[in-house]
């Protein structure tokens, strides 16, 4: 057994105690009354990095919640890895649904319950512990390490783009490990290989100057709600296929091998349906459920409103109707190009008697498809195979993780997701927890992957 392995086991209780201390700080980034707590959590992280042996540790201002950085760069000729995580958490309400208070961590059945336990305090602590264990036992690290922990992930990292742009050199690296992620199940490791991108818009349809009486005007004047649904309905066939011209043109089709790989994933359809309370799934014909969620673009109506929404009856012919639309995009779709296709489609399908305004959403995201030969990912596959005794399955994500795109855009580096959360751990919900078994597994995994990356080069 390696020295670091002994070290980790010996200090197990201390690590859990430290995690508990960290979890007691209610670092809710979305509530301004907790801004000081977010800062306090950042200072806790900075202190912990120093204690682990990191240098140049700083709590850096961003204009919003701070970023904490630290580094150890004494491995000349070796690659530099940047490790990412976040110390802010989601709000804890509804409080009454928590078994124990969200910021008073409690261990039950080898799980630690608290807001942020899994997302992301428990996970982000594991690489810090790993470098401490390596430095304490080996006296050195196998490669150069930088840390970047932020305090605004749960509110969409609004200041992070500018911050990264202004600190490119500080965070320059050869590869990135993202601790804000997880594994498929307790006995099945996984590696994330792609995420979908995003573009979207709000559509505003206007008819008359003001709402009209449906008796006095109904039949003579275009109804903006009717016009809107006609436009929206023209965008998608009843078979779920998007009918906007050119929408699928740049979509990269899966190879037979990729298809086979997806089909081999132990996706439990009835569990998926039970989890959300539906009795059948629906989507573009000719693709499996996982293909549709992970590898096909969508056009989703996120919201719609117009006219009377109260109780009972109001015989109004409204003068406005609105909808929010977002598309999930896949490689090699371009958000701006897709937006322009939607815009053209709407112009061409606007019926007589109304005018239409369109406003793009600000937070476009490119689809994120990782190169298959990413060194961090190859190392992750080996480490996970060793720890779990089986190869990780290659998974994708239907959502977008803005930080990965930001890191790629500003640092020019893809990130390998290397975290040990699990989907059942109720992040963003009451009774969030983290498996202590995975807390320790993560520490060992980080020791192993740092060693492997140090010796790869």
- Residues numbered 334 to 373 that lie near a copy of itself (CB under 8 A) are 351-353, 361-363
By CB under 8 A, residue 216 contacts a copy of itself: yes
DSSP assignment of 65-106 equals S-EEEEEE---TTS-EEEEEEE--B-----GGG-SS-TTS-E
Contact positions with a copy of itself (CB under 8 A) in 19-38: none
CB-CB neighbours of 193 under 10 Å: 22
By CB under 8 A, residue 278 contacts a copy of itself: yes
By CB under 8 A, residue 402 contacts a copy of itself: no
- φ, ψ of residue 89 to 5 degrees: the values are -130, 165
Cβ within 8 Å of residue 273, ≥6 positions away: 279, 280, 281
Taking the complex as a whole, how short is the minimal distance between the CB of residue 365 and a copy of itself, in angstroms? 10
By CB under 8 A, residue 174 contacts a copy of itself: no
Orientation angle between helical segments 375-388 and 436-456, nearest 10 degrees: 130
By CB under 8 A, residue 223 contacts a copy of itself: yes
Tokens of 415: 């990130």
Let me know: does 191 contact 97? Beta carbons within 8 Å: no
By CB under 8 A, residue 222 contacts a copy of itself: yes
Name the residue with tokens 């682990």. Answer: 52
Characterize the bridge pairing of strands 393-397 and 190-195: parallel
User: Between 11 and 426, whose beta carbon lies closer to a copy of itself?
Assistant: 426
By CB under 8 A, residue 214 contacts a copy of itself: yes
Applying CB under 8 A, among 1, 220, 257, 372 the residue interacting with a copy of itself is 220
Applying CB under 8 A, among 318, 376, 402, 419 the residue interacting with a copy of itself is 318
Let me know: does 327 contact 300? Beta carbons within 8 Å: yes
By CB under 8 A, residue 411 contacts a copy of itself: no
Stretch that binds a copy of itself, among 117-125, 178-186, 195-203, 411-419 (CB under 8 A): 195-203
Distance CA 288, CA 258 (A): 13
By CB under 8 A, residue 198 contacts a copy of itself: yes
Applying CB under 8 A, among 155, 316, 358, 408 the residue interacting with a copy of itself is 316
Taking the complex as a whole, how short is the minimal distance between the CB of residue 190 and a copy of itself, in angstroms? 15
Stretch that binds a copy of itself, among 40-48, 107-115, 224-232, 371-379 (CB under 8 A): 224-232
Per DSSP, what are the bridge partners of residue 138? none
């Amino acid at each position: 057994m390696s020295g670091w392995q002994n070290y980790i086991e010996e200090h197990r209780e201390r690590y859990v105690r430290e995690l508990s201390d960290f979890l007691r700080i209610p670092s809710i980034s979305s509530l301004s009354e907790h801004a000081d707590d977010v800062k306090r959590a950042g200072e806790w992280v900075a202190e912990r990095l120093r204690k682990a042996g990191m240098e140049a540790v700083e709590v850096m201002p961003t204009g919003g919640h701070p970023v904490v950085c630290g580094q150890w760069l004494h491995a000349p000729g070796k690659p530099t890895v940047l490790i990412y995580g976040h110390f802010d958490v989601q709000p804890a309400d509804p409080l009454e649904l928590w078994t124990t208070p969200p910021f008073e961590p409690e261990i039950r059945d080898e799980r630690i319950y608290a807001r942020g336990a899994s997302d992301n305090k428990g996970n982000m602590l594991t690489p810090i512990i790993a470098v401490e264990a390596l430095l304490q036992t080996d006296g050195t690290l196998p490669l150069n390490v930088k840390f970047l922990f932020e305090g605004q992930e749960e509110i969409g990292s609004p200041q992070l783009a500018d911050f990264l742009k202004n600190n490119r050199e500080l965070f320059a690296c050869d590869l990135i490990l993202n601790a804000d992620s997880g594994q498929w199940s307790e006995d099945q490791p996984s590696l994330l290989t792609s995420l979908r991108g995003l573009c979207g818009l709000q559509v505003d349809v206007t008819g008359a100057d003001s709402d009209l009486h449906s008796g006095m005007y109904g039949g003579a004047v275009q109804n903006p709600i009717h016009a809107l649904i006609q436009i929206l309905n023209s965008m998608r066939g009843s078979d779920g296929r998007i009918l906007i011209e050119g929408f699928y043109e740049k979509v990269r089709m899966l190879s037979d091998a990729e298809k086979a790989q997806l089909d081999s994933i132990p996706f439990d359809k009835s569990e998926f349906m039970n989890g959300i309370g539906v009795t059948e799934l629906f989507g573009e014909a000719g693709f499996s459920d996982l293909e549709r969620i992970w590898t096909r673009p969508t056009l989703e109506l996120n919201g719609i409103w117009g006219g009377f929404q109260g109780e009972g009856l109001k015989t109004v012919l409204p003068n406005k109707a609105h909808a929010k639309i977002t598309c999930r995009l896949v490689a090699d779709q371009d958000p701006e190009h897709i937006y322009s296709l939607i815009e053209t489609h709407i112009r061409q399908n606007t019926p007589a008697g109304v005018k239409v305004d369109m406003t793009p959403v600000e937070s476009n995201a490119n689809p994120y498809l990782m190169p298959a030969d990413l060194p961090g990912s190859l190392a992750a596959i080996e480490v996970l195979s060793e720890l779990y005794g089986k190869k990780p399955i290659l998974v994708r994500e239907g959502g977008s993780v803005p930080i990965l795109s930001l890191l790629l855009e500003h640092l020019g580096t893809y990130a390998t997701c290397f975290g040990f959360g699990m989907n059942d751990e109720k992040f963003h919900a009451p009774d969030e927890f983290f498996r202590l078994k995975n807390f320790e597994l993560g520490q060992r995994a980080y020791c192993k992957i740092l060693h492997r990356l140090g010796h790869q080069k």
